Amino acid sequence: MTNHTLPPLPYEYNALEPFIDEQTMRLHHDKHHLAYVNGLNNAESKLAEAREKGDFALVKHWEREAAFHGAGHFLHVIFWENMKPNGGGTPKNGDLNDAIASRFGSFEKMMAQFKAAGTAVEGSGWVLLVKNQMTKTLDILTAEKHQDLSQWVTTPILACDVWEHAYYLKYQNNRAAYVDAFTNVINWDDVAKRFL
Ligand code: MN3
């Protein structure tokens, strides 16, 4: 069985200041993300036991737990890599720029939709720029919690965590200001790599 582990941040905890503060990053990575890793390991272990016993009611329960913690773990891995110090700006990759322009009209229109979608998520969740693996086109989707409202043929290429733990220390109830700040740390090279 896979034993999932918490990957270290690809930069220092204070590297995204002033946009994302150090205390939020420490709590978010060391406490919240770790809890999803531990939850996924526990769910997969319990799932194996329930399968062994043929207890399908328990299998259903642990499958849901694995979906919650697994989606939480994998989206956070993308989220950390989606950011970097001195990020933001616009993508340098021509293929990604073409895909954005053909779907949204322009980079600016895509980002306006991304910010509006992130601000409007009901409760905890994510705003995601995704690539549809059947049509190869881009879209902007939101996820409630981590796993709900998913489209399974899409791949997240840009993920912004809009759970309150991602921004409340610095931005309190002003989620729009946080989503706006996030755009200043986006690692567009990482987004392009995932797109390709
Ligand atoms: Mn989070």
pLDDT tens sequence across 90-138: 999 999 999 999 999 999 999 999 999 999 998 899 999 999 988 999 9
Q: How confident is the model at residue 154 (pLDDT cuts 50, 70, 90)?
A: confident
Q: How many angstroms does the Cα of residue 55 sit away from the middle of ligand 1? A: 32
Q: How confident is the model at residue 68 (pLDDT cuts 50, 70, 90)?
A: very high
Reference 28, options 179, 129, 170; nearest CA is 170
- What is the tens place of the pLDDT at every residue in 159-176? 999 999 999 999 999 999
Domains of the chain: 22-81 (1.10.287.990), 94-195 (3.55.40.20)
pLDDT value for 2:
65
Q: How confident is the model at residue 144 (pLDDT cuts 50, 70, 90)?
A: confident
Q: How many angstroms does the Cα of residue 99 sit away from the middle of ligand 1? A: 28
127/148 Cα distance (integer angstroms): 12
Q: How many angstroms does the Cα of residue 105 sit away from the middle of ligand 1? A: 30
Which of 77-81, 85-89, 140-144 bottoms out in mean pLDDT, i.e. has the lowest? 140-144
Q: How confident is the model at residue 192 (pLDDT cuts 50, 70, 90)?
A: very high
pLDDT value for 20:
97
Q: Give the C-alpha distances (Å, rounded to integers) separating 181 from 64, 74, 108.
A: 33, 23, 15
pLDDT value for 145:
82
Q: Give the C-alpha distances (Å, rounded to integers) separating 133 from 17, 139, 141, 152.
A: 35, 11, 14, 9
- The residue whose two tokens read 């995601």 is 128
pLDDT value for 1:
56
Structure tokens at 89: 């700006």
pLDDT value for 148:
74
User: 144: buried, middle or exposed (CB in 10 Å: 19+, 13-18, 0-12)?
Assistant: middle
Radius of gyration, alpha carbons of the chain: 17
Q: How many angstroms does the Cα of residue 165 sit away from the middle of ligand 1? A: 6
- Which residues have CB atoms below 5 A from the ion given as ligand 1? 161, 163
